[in-house]
Amino acid sequence: MKDEMQEFSERMAQRADQVDMALAKLLDARLRGDEIARPDTLLAAMRHGVLNGGKRLRPFLLLETAELLGGDQEAALRVAAATECLHCYSLIHDDLPAMDDDSLRRGLPTVHVAFDEATAILAGDALLTMAFEIIAAPQTELAAGLKSELVLALAQASGLGGMAGGQALDLQAEKYPPDEAGIITLQSMKTGALIRFACEAGAILSGSNPTDRECMKRFGEAVGLAFQLADDLLDVTSDSQSMGKATGKDTGRGKGTLVALHGADWARTQLSGLVSEASSLLSPYGERARILLDAAQFVANRKH
Amino acid sequence: MKDEMQEFSERMAQRADQVDMALAKLLDARLRGDEIARPDTLLAAMRHGVLNGGKRLRPFLLLETAELLGGDQEAALRVAAATECLHCYSLIHDDLPAMDDDSLRRGLPTVHVAFDEATAILAGDALLTMAFEIIAAPQTELAAGLKSELVLALAQASGLGGMAGGQALDLQAEKYPPDEAGIITLQSMKTGALIRFACEAGAILSGSNPTDRECMKRFGEAVGLAFQLADDLLDVTSDSQSMGKATGKDTGRGKGTLVALHGADWARTQLSGLVSEASSLLSPYGERARILLDAAQFVANRKH
């Protein structure tokens, strides 16, 4: 088991390097298509918010589901980079003074601290926009029908009815603590939807049949739930040094989490259940899907 | 001439009604596709930022170019609504305290005043995301290849190399006044790119040949330049009541404009030149393009 997890860690690091290289290239100064100029400061703020040594979990899930289902790896890498641009935009905006007001992210100053608030807002806006540009660009060699499906799924996962809506619910939760159903909705939107998208996108870009696509979507849902539960557990059991960001904030602000409602032991049992669910969903794919199961375990057991 | 402009105004008002109805429908509470929930407050903030009696200039240009070039009007209406969502997101974010800090927009409190800053940031994010969703959705009945082209062109017009980049340059311009070339770049990005997109999009969704597409793009460029020049003229000659927003701010902040550099008479001559250019570009289409020429005149001569 230890060897398997070590192998997994190495693979995740390799994938992260691939994704970092793709992101660095997308965020260079060359103009694309009808762009008029790439202003230096804004570009630097975008790079600060993206090229910061993140684990690249969502790209990893996307690349591995695409590999499992026979998708083109070059195209998958671009869609993975797009997904990470979108994820990083959400972190930049969530960290703003008007939102969670965080000054530290992955051990570095947040974008509005390193630059200024206006630049951070615009860097987020431009990264969100770039995510869609990357998918639609001719360099992403996919059938146009698949690109449209990816744009639609990404927009629904990340907008009003997904991630942005989840952040809005999260802000309200400080004043009006939600009940259990409300917490689940909030978390499915805020963090679950984009993780689910990453897995489903691997299937979409591979041109998979509806069964495989639905299966990867449900796998992504399980991983998303596990991610949030593990995060809530860490928030009560970890310290800010190993997280590279402030911890204990959710409890301090009176935000309800499932861990706060049901306790840490319940959460650990739920996490095992989610890993089992992931395992059942992946069983039709046999040994080839082992890396995705490892990913689910990694998410459920992560210590930072 | 007076009758012609009256006919034009009526047509613009009819188009605005069409667009408002489409926008109200897109911003209702029904869930689309994989959306998990549409949170009330965020949706209300988005509606506040969009359904506010705007002139809908960009949708108008898009619908009229599509009509000229034989595009499907139902599809054009959806792409027009998407373009307006994107425009309104940019207004919401530009009005934020960290940006232009405006409390009045079209005679109403801005979104961050009517709601709060965090909600305004998220409403902008969700509207930007929704623009791409609307284009990619199956209800927009266009060939997938055209949708990808629209997504790409919209993203390039509005992101780092377009509108968002232009706003970043505009913020820098307060500290480091740009030279004439810098002002032109800033304005082409901040306001020109999306107006150009609106005209080009009418051609894209009509499946037009490269000549027509290029022609509409250049027409959009001329209208965009005219729009900004007219805006700068109004900023020095108008009052806040007829504009429905604060005026004289650019000069007050020391922002360079071409009107400040060259004077109002020079600007009026330029505006005539741009209308002539629009007229030449449209001449191959004859009388059928009259409404687009009227639009260029309307933009160049607008009093508010």
User: Each residue of A241-250: pLDDT tens digit?
Assistant: 444 455 445 4
Average pLDDT, chain A: 93
Nearest to B128, CA basis, from B90, B77, B167, B78: B90
Q: How far apart are CA A199 and CA B262, in angstroms?
A: 56
Residue of B nearest to A43 (CA): B160
Is the CB of B168 less than 8 angstroms away from the CB of A37?
no
H helices of chain A, in order, are 2-26, 40-50, 57-68, 73-94, 111-114, 117-136, 144-158, 163-175, 180-187, 193-205, 210-237, 240-243, 249-252, 258-262, 264-282, 290-301
Q: Which residues of A164-184 are buried (b: 16+ CB within 10 A; e: fewer)?
A: bbbbbbbbbbeeeebeeebbb
Residue of A nearest to B46 (CA): A160
Is the CB of B96 less than 8 angstroms away from the CB of A158?
no
Model confidence pLDDT, tens digit, residues B175-196: 889 999 999 999 999 999 999 9
- Give the distance, in angstroms, between the CA of residue B186 and the centroid of all CA atoms in the same chain: 15
Q: Which residues of chain B neighbour A171 with C-beta distances below 8 Å? A: 118-119, 122
Residue B128: pLDDT over 90: yes
- Helix (H), strand (E) at residue B146: helix B144-158
For residues A67-87, average pLDDT: 98
For residues B252-270, average pLDDT: 83
DSSP B233-296: HHHHH--HHHHTS--SHHHHTT---HHHHH-HHHHHHHHHHHHHHHHHHHGGGGGGGHHHHHHH
Nearest CB to A189: which of B36, B135, B172? B36
Nearest CB to B41: which of A157, A172, A189? A172
Q: Is the dihedral of CA B291, B294, B299, B300 positive or negative?
A: positive
φ/ψ of residue B52, rounded to 5 = -135, 25
pTM above 0.90, yes or no: yes
Is the CB of B130 less than 8 angstroms away from the CB of A160?
yes
Of residues B2 and B229, which shows the higher confidence score?
Answer: B229
Three-class DSSP category at B159: coil
Q: How far apart are CA A225 and CA B243, in angstroms?
A: 49
Q: Where are the beta strands (DSSP E) in chain B?
A: 104-105, 108-109
Residue B247: pLDDT over 70: no
End-to-end CA distance of chain B: 20
Give me the amino acid identity at B247. Answer: T
Residue B252: pLDDT over 60: no
φ/ψ of residue B105, rounded to 5 = -150, 125
Nearest CB to A164: which of B93, B125, B145? B125
Nearest CB to A37: which of B43, B129, B185? B185
Residue of A nearest to B200 (CA): A34
Prediction ipTM score? 0.94
Give me the amino acid identity at A183. Answer: I
Q: Which residues pair with A108 in a beta bridge?
A: A105
Q: How far apart are CA B225 and CA B76, in angstroms?
A: 24
- Helix (H), strand (E) at residue B223: helix B210-237
Q: Which residues of chain A neighbour B128 with C-beta distances below 8 Å? A: 125, 128-129
Residue A254: pLDDT over 50: no
Q: Is the dihedral of CA B259, B265, B268, B272 positive or negative?
A: negative
Q: How far apart are CA A65 and CA A76, in angstroms?
A: 9
Q: Which residues of A18-43 are buried (b: 16+ CB within 10 A; e: fewer)?
A: bbbebbeebbeeeebebbbbbbebbb
Confidence of residue B240 (pLDDT cuts 50, 70, 90): very low
Pick the CATH number of B2-301 from 1.10.600.10, 1.20.1250.20, 3.40.50.2000, 1.10.620.20: 1.10.600.10
Is the CB of B160 less than 8 angstroms away from the CB of A126?
yes
| Percentage above 70 pLDDT, chain A | 93
Nearest to B92, CA basis, from B115, B75, B65: B115
Is the CB of B165 less than 8 angstroms away from the CB of A42?
yes
Give me the amino acid identity at A116. Answer: D
Half-sphere exposure of residue B124: CA atoms within 13 angstroms, side-chain side: 29
Is the CB of A36 less than 8 angstroms away from the CB of B185?
yes
Residue B253: pLDDT over 50: no
Nearest CB to B168: which of A39, A159, A189? A39
Q: How far apart are CA B158 and CA B196, in angstroms?
A: 11
Give me the amino acid identity at B146. Answer: L
- B288 vs A163, B64, B197, B200, B295, CA distance in Å? 45, 10, 21, 17, 13
Nearest CB to A136: which of B137, B151, B185? B151
CA triple A128-A132-A133, angle to 5 deg: 105
Q: How far apart are CA A258 and CA A180, in angstroms?
A: 7
CB of A146 closer than 8 Å to CB of A207: yes
| pLDDT given at position B237 | 79
Domain spans of chain A, in order of start: 2-301
Is the CB of B160 less than 8 angstroms away from the CB of A193?
no
Is the CB of A130 less than 8 angstroms away from the CB of B38?
no
| pLDDT given at position B5 | 83
Contacts across the A-B interface (CB distance below 8 Å): 221
Model confidence pLDDT, tens digit, residues A107-147: 899 999 999 999 999 999 999 999 999 999 999 999 999 99
Average pLDDT, chain B: 93
To the nearest whole Å, the CA of A292 is away from the closest chain B CA by: 23
Is the CB of A153 less than 8 angstroms away from the CB of B34?
yes
8-state DSSP, A95: T
Confidence of residue A12 (pLDDT cuts 50, 70, 90): very high
φ/ψ of residue A104, rounded to 5 = -130, 135
To the nearest whole Å, the CA of B260 is away from the closest chain A CA by: 23
CB of B161 closer than 8 Å to CB of A127: no
For residues A1-26, average pLDDT: 91
